[in-house]
Homo-oligomer: A and B are copies of this chain.
């Protein structure tokens, strides 16, 4: 492919409204253009990468016996009402009405349609197991699209769904997917790791995420370097970083004018965040208030909250705080509260000399001893674990990594088959619900993640497995020689991008760095006078001088090596 007949609108200057590396590089390399917030056009280079990622995914899905299907974007409301997600999905789901006033969701995921089809078509245990997959555009009205392709509102997902007769079958389908995902991410070249994860809106069963460490990642994973435990910070279980809870004192009310946050209280009173007790007012089923206490150095995990208190909960409004506790949200606390249950995160158990809101605006209480002064309904785990917490299995301090989620596998169980009536007749003639799993990989995010982890800030670098071309040949001056090399490379089945544009060499080098083709052959007068060309390997930044006649076999060898891992 000649550069001049290929549309690669590189940008000389870094774009103004991009911050993350992959976002900047994908814009600069002419891979993508934004059409709206979180909505992108994929230009020819990006499309080539995406087709390669999809091919790897297809090959590995077929290898585990998955069958490719294709489901629509438009999904009738009725199916989402059966599953309960017409409501649960909230604003994250795009919705529309057609010309006949029928309501549709733009499918953010396809459990509902899959379960609907299964309910109609699967009759007997003989029809099971099934694994169905698709590579299909998903639409999600993300509140905060960010970082280019890392979080978008429209993207392709490889989503697959397993249908089994029992949980033993689901185990097998789940493990097959795990294996397929390991192969997919290895073939792309990722050093991924696998963490325990939360089901989110998908369900409450076992679930794992495939992650790759990256500064731009918005996920946090906690890892135990000793025993190998790893989990998404949202759900990681850990022993709180130990802290002396102080000695018991008398309770004292202190004036803290306009001092509301943990940070403010800590500095105003000169007390460690670990002695501050955050009080959160929550409402269950729209009307039952309850309080949750958390040590000041932790954040709440919403995933854990939902797990402990189930899904019909929400944080109270400022008005409700005044209503139930006579104070603004920044000044509420458990002391003296009798009109609601109080739950405490394990992290506050040992606090004997603590600070908390006084249920009176502009006042806090000092000297609070949790076990002495508060009637705790139950100790729970609702905190987001963090670096320094101790591994529950081996008490080693955990490390925290910023990471990008590459894939997610879920055991759904019967969460969808029961309400949607997807049943089959078992060997014993009994009607049973189909046991399901759901598995996803974001296609464009894999591209963005690859750019994040393999590139430098100024040079896009893509692995051979998914790069738009395997080698770029830059001709400087002698087009006969370079055309000959291009021909030889093509004869060996190598995908070549040939830059023989009539522009300055500097422009060609600059552009080459922007588009990240992993191998680069420079055919210039200096080398040619000795019968050599320069081969640059972007990954290692190594430059090798090669005799003309060795170029194609050397490139072929490098490509093969990289592809075979």
Assuming the A-B contacts A75-B35, A76-B35, A99-B143, are A69 and B94 also in contact, with contact meaning beta carbons closer than 8 angstroms in the complex?
A: no
A42-B69 CB under 8 A given contacts A102-B36, A154-B74: yes
Q: Is A214 an interface residue, CB under 8 A from the partner?
A: no
Q: Mark A212-224, 1 if CB is under 8 A from B, else 0.
A: 0000000000000
Interface-located stretch among A2-10, A316-324, A392-400, A542-550: A2-10
How far apart are A445's CB and chain B's nearest CB, in angstroms?
A: 15
CB <8 Å contact, A72 and B39: yes
Roughly how many angstroms separate A130 CA and B43 CA in the complex, as a whole number? 12
In the complex, A41 has a CB within 8 A of chain B: yes
How distant is the Cα of A33 from the Cα of B43 in the complex, in angstroms? 33
Query: A47 at interface (Cβ–Cβ under 8 A)?
Result: yes
Contact B139 A33 (CB under 8 A): no
A73 CB-CB contact with B under 8 Å = yes
User: Is A35 in contact with B113, judged by CB distance below 8 angstroms?
Assistant: yes
Name A1's closest neighbour in chain B (CB-CB): B67
A36 touches B74 (CB 8 A): yes
> A residues 76-101 with Cβ under 8 Å of B?
76, 91, 94-96, 98-99
Give the docked Cα–Cα distance between A121 and B96 (Å): 33
Which residues of B sit under 8 angstroms from A91, Cβ to Cβ?
99
- Separation in Å of the A107 CB from the closest CB of chain B? 10
- Beyond A41-B72, A137-B73, whether A67 also contacts B7 by CB under 8 A is yes
- Can you name 19 extra interface pairs (CB under 8 A) apart from A74-B154, A96-B96? A7-B69, A7-B132, A33-B121, A39-B76, A40-B72, A41-B71, A42-B71, A44-B67, A44-B69, A47-B70, A48-B68, A50-B70, A72-B154, A73-B139, A74-B139, A94-B98, A99-B141, A106-B106, A137-B137
Q: Mark A27-47, 1 if CB is under 8 A from B, else 0.
A: 000000101100111111011
Query: Does residue A120 face the partner (Cβ distance < 8 Å to B)?
Result: yes
CB contacts (< 8 Å) of A46 on chain B: these are 70
Set of chain B residues within 8 Å of A113, measured between Cβ atoms: 35, 41
Complex: A344 Cα to B68 Cα, angstroms: 56
Asked if A65 is at the interface (CB within 8 A of a chain B CB), the reply is yes
Q: How far is the CA of A497 from the CA of B95 in the complex (A)?
A: 40
| Residues on B with beta carbons closer than 8 Å to the beta carbon of A167 | none
Residues of B within 8 A of A139 (CB): 73-74
A116 within 8 A of B: yes
Q: Which B residues are CB-close (under 8 A) to A141? A: 98-99
**Cβ contacts A to B, 23 pairs, < 8 Å:** A6-B67, A7-B69, A7-B121, A7-B130, A7-B132, A33-B117, A33-B120, A35-B71, A35-B76, A39-B72, A41-B72, A43-B69, A47-B69, A47-B70, A48-B68, A51-B68, A73-B73, A73-B139, A91-B99, A95-B96, A98-B141, A99-B143, A106-B106
Tell me whether A275 is interfacial, beta carbon within 8 Å.
no
Interface residues of A in 126-168 (CB under 8 A from B): 130, 132, 134, 137, 139, 141, 143, 153-154
- CB of A154 within 8 A of CB of B73, answer yes
Contacts of A153 in B (CB 8 A): 74, 98
Question: Is the pair B44, A76 in contact by a Cβ cutoff of 8 Å?
Answer: no
Question: Which B residues are in CB contact (< 8 Å) with A36?
Answer: 72, 74-76, 102, 104
Complex Cα gap A355–B69 (Å): 59
Q: Out of B5, B6, B41, which one reaches A117, CB within 8 Å? A: B41
CB distance from A382 to the nearest CB of B (A): 27
Chain B residues within 8 Å of A71, by CB: 35, 41-42
Closest chain-B Cβ to A433's Cβ sits at a distance in Å of: 19
Closest 7 CB pairs of A and B: A42-B70, A96-B96, A44-B67, A9-B121, A91-B99, A36-B76, A47-B68
User: Which residue of A35, A40, A50, A141 has the most chain B CB atoms within 10 A of its CB atom?
Assistant: A35
Give Cα A141 to B47, complex, Å: 28
Complex Cα distance, B68 from A46, in Å, reads 9
Bitwise interface map of A from 472 to 515 toward B, beta carbon under 8 Å scored 1, else 0: 00000000000000000000000000000000000000000000
- A35's contact among B50, B68, B72, by CB below 8 Å, is which? B72
A67–B9 CA distance with the chains assembled, in angstroms: 13
Question: In this complex, what residue of B is CB-closest to A44?
Answer: B67
